[in-house]
Amino acid sequence: MAAIKENIKKILDELPDGVRLIAAAKKRKPEEMLEAVNAGVKIIGESYIKEAKRAYELIGDKAKWHFIGIPQIEKHDLLKRKNLKMFDMIQTIDCLEIAEDINKKCAGFGKVMSILIEVNSGKEPHKFGVLPGKAVGLAKRISALSNLKLMGLMTMGPRFGDPEKTRPYFQKTREIFERLKKMSLSGVEMKYLSMGMTNSYKVALEEGANIVRVGNKIFGEREK
């Protein structure tokens, strides 16, 4: 797995100070993820609970764990108390119902969960995330939940072959981020702006991202 180590070194060397790299581990083997951690990755981003649990058994607290998948209110393993204990942050909150459910369960075992609000910056009907015009309202409602700590925003943005086309969507998310930051809501710390993936993270950095989620550029293309 020498390639993983080399890939991570190259990415870390080019990231500005203060930017966090997340290894997006969707469909990756636990051994690959451990190699990434040993090479300097400090945060693993998981989309599926079963995969996260297998990897956590091998890696444990050697890394921070962020959930970057789709939490749904019905029949979603993330919302089980034992699984919430595993994660340090949930990046994909897009509705009050899920936020309230996580808040209630975290209160049951004394945890304050760090979260990001996911913004559907492209207003794509087939994607999750709160619409840009409703993000501030959702943030206000979440700010009242004592076992959640709103730490910023996340966006996927539309997927294009040309990463430059993602720029307007990152700019829109940054505008919402800055607006919320100026509001100084109680219980809210607008600290993180999670934008950009393998093909678009360099543009995201130019638009203010301080968390980037990279998978293929670390691990190589996923097997079909």
- Residues 108-119 have pLDDT tens digits of 999 999 999 999
Of 34, 36, 35, the residue nearest 54 (C-alpha): 34
DSSP state, 123? Answer: -
Mean pLDDT to the nearest integer, 135-147: 98
Superfamily classification of domain 2-219: Alanine racemase (3.20.20.10)
Q: Tens digit of pLDDT for each residue in 42-91?
A: 999 999 999 999 999 999 999 999 999 988 655 567 778 888 999 999 99
Domain ranges of the chain: 2-219
Instruction: Provide the H-helix boundaries in 39-191.
Output: 49-59, 81-84, 96-108, 135-142, 167-183
Mean pLDDT to the nearest integer, 8-13: 96
Q: Are β-strands 113-119 and 211-214 bridged in parallel, bridged antiparallel, or unpaired?
A: unpaired
Assess contact for 52 and 76: CB atoms under 8 A: no
Of 112, 67, 75, the residue nearest 94 (C-alpha): 67
Q: Is the pLDDT score of 153 beyond 60?
A: yes
Calpha distance 196→19 (Å, rounded): 12
Q: Which residues pair with 121 in a beta bridge?
A: none
Residue in this structure with the two tokens 């505008």, named with its chain if needed: 175
pLDDT tier at 1 (50, 70, 90 boundaries)?
Answer: low
- pTM of the entire structure? 0.94
Q: Is the pLDDT score of 33 beyond 80?
A: yes
- Per-residue pLDDT, 75: 56
